[in-house]
Structure 1
Amino acid sequence: MTMTFTLETPTRILFGEGMIDELASQIGPEERVLLLYGGGSIMRNGVHDRIRQALAGHVVTEFGGIEPNPEYETVMRAAVLAREEKVTFILGVGGGSVIDAAKFLSCAAPIGGGDAWDRMLGGRDLPEPLPSGAILTLPATGSESNPVSVISRTARGLKLPFKREAARPRFAILDPSTMKSLPRRQLENGVVDAVTHVLEQYLTLPVNAPVQHGYSEALLAVLFEWGPRLLVEDSDEARENVMWAANQALNGLIGAGVPQDWSTHMIGHALTALHGLDHARSLSLVMPHLMRNRMPNKVAMLARYGRRVWGVAEADDRAAADLAIARTEDFFRRMNCPVAVRDVPGLAVSPDKVVQHLEEAGQLPLGENADIGAAEVRAILKAAGAAA
């Protein structure tokens, strides 16, 4: 298979401790800034003070309270504030959820009339987004340097991804020291989310992409080594390696010109919308069972993954693939993330309701071959322990 692609990665990355102090050099002095954040951890860890010092010469309006799964109605309240304050620049400070919200907000704020959700789904006649930037405090999604935002709309029972290249952040500041105050659960989620991002772009078809495949394998090796270490050691090296790997996992590079899957993510989004499950934990619950269900199509890359990343020695592809899935499942367990419905106390999953979510979102069929329909989704969830 011949690769044909256009790669756009215009986000400027400022990586390293102390880079928040460079913020003023990235935002023009004439910009009116809306500072968007989540639950308030930036107030406790000193990040907020550093930002306000760096932007002392700017007009800054603040909006907090962005949820871990950013809610459309919350972002729309921020859009009203942005219009009232004549904001010209959106600065998202936090993890992927806040940065997703910032990108969506940058598109929604200039939309004067109609429903911004429906307008953006339609993708036509949209005004130019406001420019945005990101300060990352929780590595996981790569949202700080890609054009996708994932937004929940509880009133409609949906959680959907929105992609708009013009919404990609102008810059992203990645200061690994901001991770020091994060609770263990957020670190676990961040590593697992990054791992699944790589696997969704890598475990597809064995195409002619040695650079992308090799880079994916390197990223996985880093995450599998340093992810568990991040949980137990207070080291700059662990924070730096995980933060950088998570960024590279979803900035467009490893997916350029190769088939991509994303079925685990779409099913996971449905589980989060229906049950409030942490995003990363919805992914770990689905992915091993999806791999086994899709074994005939994925066996070649699963075997390669097992040999090159996990070092399995089996010559038979199916045996190597089975071991690769088992090792992945074990890694998720080591990161304290579920691999079956029974691992989440009180969780009862209805495959029919998940399928309904996917149908209402217009996402079926799923997969790199568009061959995962309603029946396959039900089978994957039943293998994970969902009720019949």
Structure 2
Amino acid sequence: MFNFVFQNTTKLVFGRGQIAQLSSLIPTDKKVLITFGGGSVKRNGVYDQVKKALAGHNVVEFWGIEPNPAVETLRKAVKLGLEEKVDMLLAVGGGSVLDGTKLIAAAIAQPNLDAWDIVKSGSAIKQIPFASVMTLPATGSEMNNGAVISCHETKEKFSFRGDYPEFSILDPETTYSLPAHQIACSLADIVVHCFEQYMTTTGQSRVLDRWAEGVIATAMEIAPKIQADQHNYDLMCDYMYSATMALNNFIRMGVTQDWSTHQIGHELTALCGVTHGESLAIVYPGTIDVLREQKKGKLLQFGSRVLGINEGTEEERIDKVIEKIEAFFKSLGLATRLSEKKIGVDVVEEITRRFNERNVHLGEAQNVTGDVAREILMKRL
């Protein structure tokens, strides 16, 4: 393992009925801007729970943060927050609402900077306090210090890092009303989050290998059970907690990582509007196919430990691993080919151009360039 320093400061408040804890978690002397998405929290009762818990607090509301939050929308929230002189933010919704809120927190704290410039810098130097009530498990944003923001004007999507949420409330009952497609996309996101921290180099950490394998195996095991019974509390607990553990930085400490699938997927979202989780389902089988030689050890290890693939030559076993991972994404009802989303070579060439223009070098070996990204995507046509 490499040397590392780790500190995760988020207080995780987990379980049914925990939204009521907001009344004590947020001091009454704070003026709070509550950020929301498109309104599903009003239909599933979460909004009423939040308002009841914060009945004695000074709050302002901002609605309309979209999936793949757009900086154009977030600038409006920043303007409102500055006008209202808020000193804390509460994101209520999914990972996109929280990601957007992280940028709002940075832009309010640094009013001399444009929000998109903060994103492009890669880090938020300063943020006002923020917290979350998470209703759609996927991004792990509730317990990490990252966020991903889109710009519609330039058709770009980039990530930045800053502070951790002060606290995050996760009530698995809030997932009961989620659309099946959203759950499918989030399960793909959970699994690929783990893969991108795990499917790199063998022999780095037995502890983190087993941890990542456990989260992936859990997600794969519960996926068909959730499809059959979305109101099973214990299942949804595992689902929600898996999302948090997949990307709260616990399984990446001191080991190599490969985020090339996410970066390629971000381009598919920015250029074509592909839902993030589905973009990963399309790209990831191609990534591990093209990079099969350098990932051989981990592919074989995962095949044996998690998928029970122990027979055949190494190449045959790797083929089976890739097939089974793609089959899992298909079982969720997700597209796994660009052609299923009517995306052709023109988009592949544009992503290649962008990566080469930025001199991109991704992956554990820093060898995923624009040309390698092109090879990955051409396998997914």
TM-score normalized with structure 1 length: 0.95
Cα distance in 1 for residues equivalent to 2:273 and 2:42: 26
- SS of alignment partner, residue 296 of structure 1: coil
Contact 2:290–2:376 (CA under 8 A) maintained in structure 1:
yes
Contact 1:66–1:97 (CA under 8 A) maintained in structure 2:
yes
Matching residue of 1:273 = 270
1:260 and 2:281 matched: no
Cα distance in 2 for residues equivalent to 1:18 and 1:48: 13
1:162 and 2:135 matched: no
1:29 and 2:28 matched: yes
1:312-331 map, 5 Å: 312-314=309-311, 316-331=313-328
Q: Greater CA deviation, 11-20 or 363-372?
A: 363-372
Cα distance in 1 for residues equivalent to 2:274 and 2:59: 34
Matched residue pairs, number?
A: 379
Matching residue of 2:139 = 141
Shift of 1:10: 0.9
1:181 and 2:177 matched: yes
Cα shift readout 1:279-322 (whole Å, capped 9, x = no counterpart) = 01111100001101001100100000111111112264333222
Task: State the identity %.
Answer: 37
Matching residue of 2:99 = 100
Contact 2:359–2:369 (CA under 8 A) maintained in structure 1:
no
Amino acid at match of 1:152: S
Shift of 1:159: 0.3
Shift of 1:363: 6.5
Matching residue of 2:364 = 368
Contact 1:270–1:358 (CA under 8 A) maintained in structure 2:
no
Matching residue of 1:251 = 248
Cα distance in 2 for residues equivalent to 1:97 and 1:148: 11
Matching residue of 2:51 = 52
Contact 1:110–1:127 (CA under 8 A) maintained in structure 2:
no
Cα distance in 2 for residues equivalent to 1:114 and 1:190: 32
Cα distance in 2 for residues equivalent to 1:19 and 1:51: 10
Unaligned runs of 5+ in 1: none
Unaligned runs of 5+ in 2: none
Amino acid at match of 1:216: A
Cα shift readout 1:10-64 (whole Å, capped 9, x = no counterpart) = 1100110000000122111111011101010011111111101101111110001
Matching residue of 2:4 = 5
Cα distance in 1 for residues equivalent to 2:81 and 2:160: 20
Contact 2:190–2:246 (CA under 8 A) maintained in structure 1:
yes
Amino acid at match of 2:325: T
Amino acid at match of 1:111: Q
- SS of alignment partner, residue 293 of structure 2: helix
TM-score normalized with structure 2 length: 0.96
Matching residue of 1:218 = 214
Contact 1:333–1:339 (CA under 8 A) maintained in structure 2:
yes
Shift of 1:359: 4.5
Q: Greater CA deviation, 63-72 or 232-241?
A: 232-241
1:194 to 185, 190, 202: 190
Matching residue of 2:90 = 91
Cα distance in 1 for residues equivalent to 2:213 and 2:257: 15
Amino acid at match of 1:146: N
Cα distance in 2 for residues equivalent to 1:253 and 1:127: 23
Shift of 1:110: 1.8
Matching residue of 1:380 = 376
Amino acid at match of 1:14: V
Matching residue of 2:149 = 151
- Cα distance change, pair 46–59 in 1 and its aligned pair in 2 (3 A): same
Contact 2:215–2:242 (CA under 8 A) maintained in structure 1:
yes
Contact 2:133–2:168 (CA under 8 A) maintained in structure 1:
yes
Cα distance in 2 for residues equivalent to 1:241 and 1:123: 32
Amino acid at match of 2:285: P
